[in-house]
Structure 1
Amino acid sequence: MDDQTDSPDDYHAICLGTAARARGIATRYVHGVYSRFHPFPSRWLDLTVGGRAYLFASGMLLVKGGDPWRGLGLHINEEATLIIRDKQRAKSFLDARGFGTPAGRVFRRNDLSAALDAFGSFAGPVCVKPNQGTKGELVFPAIADRARYERAVRRVAARHQKILVEESVTGQLIRFFFVRPRVVAVKLSRPASVVGDGSATIARLIDLKNARRDRRAVPGHSNIAVDDDLRDFLAMTGRGLDDVPAAAERVFLRGTSNGATGADSLDCRADLHPSYLDVLAAACNAVPGLNLTAVDVMIRDPAAPARHGNHWILEMNRNPGLTPYHFPWRGGAQDVSGAILDALEQGFGPAPASPPPPPMSVCPQRPPIE
């Protein structure tokens, strides 16, 4: 059954629908299943822009009716899917074109012994995650000891066929929102954290942070859950929930930077060197058929110009979320919905015929841990 109201659990669709209606574009919600392999989401924003009908939900944009094999439509990034949904394949593709990525290897869970033995082949800390995971699920960065490494590998293997093990790079995680042919927004994804006051324990500071989140009710910013992964991360850094941080000391609680795990989305436009916009636009335009994505990049010093070995592309997201750009925890809103509608109205701009090479080459060595 069709529904004319906004879906309360999909702020991404609310952002796009609100922007569309402000332009006089009619919207409605319809129900349907994308494919038997991808049954969720099932409730879609239906809109017609530039003479073509589209469906949108949870960051996924479909050209309605564009795929005869599926009842709903063709994914806007369909041609790029085989590259970007496989994290290691995407990194290899970018690496071959001179873009920096963390060195890594993929292991199948039916060869678990090879994955477990790989720890010694890395010179420093590693990150373990699913090769086709989403939303920061089962991502374990900065592992420096074998026991934690083996636990991480087994946990990923219990849920996923392929395990990605890569060098753990350090810096600040910046997410670049790309609408072909350019980057249209950027944000800093800061992992879940609390700031000490000199008297409260970490557990108390988490309660206070969650109470503030409840008061502010910023869409896309979940409360910080105290679970085994949080406790393990604190233990890895030599902390515990009963520790009392010094006044103004920021204590990170997880290694992942997703809103679902309590991360903060911060407007970082004023702090980011503009050279990264050109580098990331070139990387995205290099992928055939990539029209809409958000790219996670670890940058050692965002204020410094992009150069050899000071940043690494971690992954490209096939279904990029909009909410954190419209509703940051700190800073101004960025109109990614408007940029998407512009592209739908005018047609996605062509990628440069011969994009200039980025001002760096592959970084073969892991940087020192900071």
Structure 2
Amino acid sequence: MSNQHEWIPNLAESVPIAARKNQTSLYLIALEGYRRGLQLTFYSQFIREQLHLRYSLSNGDKTHHFQGSCGDHVTPEAMEICEDKSWTYQHLEKANVPYPKGKYFTKDHPDQSIIDFAEQMNAPYVFKPADGQGGKGVMVNIKTIAQLKKEIDYVRNTLKYSNVILEEYVPGEEVRIFVLENQVLAAANRQPASVIGDGVHTIKTLIEQKNEFRKSIPHLYFRPIKFDRDLKDYLTELDLTLHSIPKADERVFLRKISNVSRGGDPIDITDQLTDRQKQIAIQAVQSVPGLPHCGVDMILEGDSGKVIELNTKPGIGSHVFPVEGKNRNIPKHIIDYYFPETANENIRAHATEYFDFNHIQESVRERTTETIVIPAYQKLLYQETIHLAGHTDLQEMYNWLKKKVISMNIHGTIEKINENEYKLLLASSSNKEIEYVKQLIKDSNKYKVSVKDEVSTNNPVMLGFHLIDEVESLTNQELIKELEQVEKQVNVTDKEINRLNKRIKLTENSFSWKVTNIFRKVLKVK
């Protein structure tokens, strides 16, 4: 698996926690523009009665607006086409781009009409929402009509997707290809969620360990493998349960679909694509007018393939931070495209400064301000990591230091390493300010800490002065969702405990347990 040092050096640790939940693409592109000296502005926009975070970049002469990874060169008409899978397929058909054959069903079509069409096709099938996102509700490799009926009921009645698509199942690798200006820039094979056995731990424990690893990757931080119905049903098909123990080095797949949002692993395969596969992806994007860049989902078949979806706002994290393979600097290419005059800004190629995102999300989404303009980029030439030894109240010391460092235009972080040790990162355009702060700490009688170690560093630095704490970095909405997930996990655990207690009571009340009671007492004495 890939390590952080194999990723783009000035991006690997420059994504704050607040930007890792569905906003990684937005943040990476905004950060690239900011580091090039472009004016970065965030604002909110109501679309279909929902509030969305938007941003713009400007060089003074021109301004471009973005939503996620989608810039304003992508027309509204192109976005509308790509959001409707049936409409997308119509454009692919006209351009002779291969895609899975099937049919679109609206909410006015009864379930029986889907069954009737399926009986005219050859199994297996794929059944999915026409307007779904993140792989939710996508049911693949459906082999029987009975199974199809079950999935129709689940997607339409449980998930509430009325407009659906039934199409042929195409076996093969599913990949996400990023195309910009008729050029394939990246391709990632999204391997379905899986774990590798060690001969000791259960599948449940292996999933928990895998989820900890995913938290080390920015765009996977909030995309754990979930213990949901689909996962458990698939394990049942494999004659496995969450309590099964896979053999050492045995890979166990947990889902049929490979979407990253459903626990899939992104693996870079850009250099493995054939010329034919690249051409199909490019032709697919060309088939939609007003679509200069796009994410193309394709099933690879030999040296060819079939397009299954076009995404105008594709997540680029899989290309920038693949679990395996070479990283691809998509943010750089996007800013090069919209602001070609900044393409040779090599002076900022290794910039480490990045901006806070938690405050931006809170302010814009809660409507406390209409726009937030990020201060102009500034290079912090001097950095030091300082280890403090002693005993003090971290929050109190942070508040004291914050007043000092902000007044001197110093940026950095402070965090607790262990019971009596703290790490302080300071960065400034002048080394004198850093030396002054260190002396303040040494001379302070209020806090019982001392400077233990000083090391010149070149770490990513968030502008401002921050107390490192995952909870502090989350918005209120994210905290509520995190709490809901914890409560769900607690409920699952409580149910499991109750189930085991019932089993224990049933066993204790059984005839065989009572008969062998004397032997257990003897063994216990021994």
Instruction: Give 3-state SS (helix, strand or coil) of 1:30's partner.
Output: strand
Closer, same or farther in 2 for the Cα pair 1:143/1:15, shift >3 Å?
A: same
* TM-score, structure 1 normalization: 0.79
**Offset, 1:210:** 1.5
What residue number does 2:236 align with?
235
Query: What do you get for the CA RMSD once the two structures are aligned?
Result: 2.4
Whole-Å separation in 2 of the counterparts to 1:217 and 1:186:
18
Structure with greater Cα Rg: 2
Deviations 1:32-57 (A, max 9, x none): 22x225x24x2222212594323323
Q: Is the 8 A contact 2:179 2:185 kept in 1?
A: yes
Whole-Å separation in 2 of the counterparts to 1:332 and 1:50:
35
Deviates more, 1:321-330 or 1:184-193: 321-330
Q: Is the 8 A contact 1:49 1:341 kept in 2?
A: no
Deviations 1:193-231 (A, max 9, x none): 1122234332222122112223x2432351101111111
Deviations 1:315-346 (A, max 9, x none): 10121122222122222321111211122125
Instruction: Give 3-state SS (helix, strand or coil) of 1:198's partner.
Output: coil
Whole-Å separation in 2 of the counterparts to 1:258 and 1:93:
24
Q: Is the 8 A contact 1:50 1:346 kept in 2?
A: no
Whole-Å separation in 2 of the counterparts to 1:46 and 1:328:
27
- 1:1-370 map, 5 Å: 8=19, 9=21, 10-33=23-46, 35-36=47-48, 39-40=50-51, 42-48=52-58, 51-62=61-72, 76-112=74-110, 113-158=112-157, 159-214=160-215, 216-220=216-220, 222-301=223-302, 305-306=303-304, 311-346=305-340
Q: Is the 8 A contact 2:193 2:258 kept in 1?
A: yes
Residue identity in the other structure for 1:94: L
Whole-Å separation in 1 of the counterparts to 2:148 and 2:267:
31
Fraction of identical pairs, as percent: 26
Deviates more, 1:252-261 or 1:197-206: 197-206
Closer, same or farther in 2 for the Cα pair 1:174/1:49, shift >3 Å?
A: farther
Residue identity in the other structure for 2:113: A
Closer, same or farther in 2 for the Cα pair 1:138/1:273, shift >3 Å?
A: same
Deviations 1:91-128 (A, max 9, x none): 23213432211111111233222123333222121111
Gaps in structure 2 of 5+ consecutive residues: 1-14, 342-526
Deviations 1:143-175 (A, max 9, x none): 113333112212322322311011111111111
Instruction: Give 3-state SS (helix, strand or coil) of 2:280's partner.
Output: helix
Closer, same or farther in 2 for the Cα pair 1:109/1:93, shift >3 Å?
A: same
**Offset, 1:272:** 2.6
Instruction: Give 3-state SS (helix, strand or coil) of 1:232's partner.
Output: helix
* TM-score, structure 2 normalization: 0.57
**Offset, 1:192:** 0.8
What residue number does 2:345 align with?
none
Q: Segments of 4+ in structure 1 off by > 4 A?
A: none
Closer, same or farther in 2 for the Cα pair 1:213/1:144, shift >3 Å?
A: same
Whole-Å separation in 2 of the counterparts to 1:77 and 1:196:
47
Whole-Å separation in 2 of the counterparts to 1:249 and 1:91:
39
Instruction: Give 3-state SS (helix, strand or coil) of 1:170's partner.
Output: coil
Q: Which has the higher contact order (CA 8 A, sep 6+)?
A: 1
Q: Is the 8 A contact 1:80 1:290 kept in 2?
A: yes
Whole-Å separation in 1 of the counterparts to 2:141 and 2:104:
17
Deviates more, 1:198-207 or 1:261-270: 198-207
Whole-Å separation in 1 of the counterparts to 2:113 and 2:60:
51
Closer, same or farther in 2 for the Cα pair 1:14/1:82, shift >3 Å?
A: closer
**Offset, 1:278:** 2.4
Q: Is the 8 A contact 1:50 1:345 kept in 2?
A: no
What residue number does 1:71 align with?
none
**Offset, 1:137:** 1.3
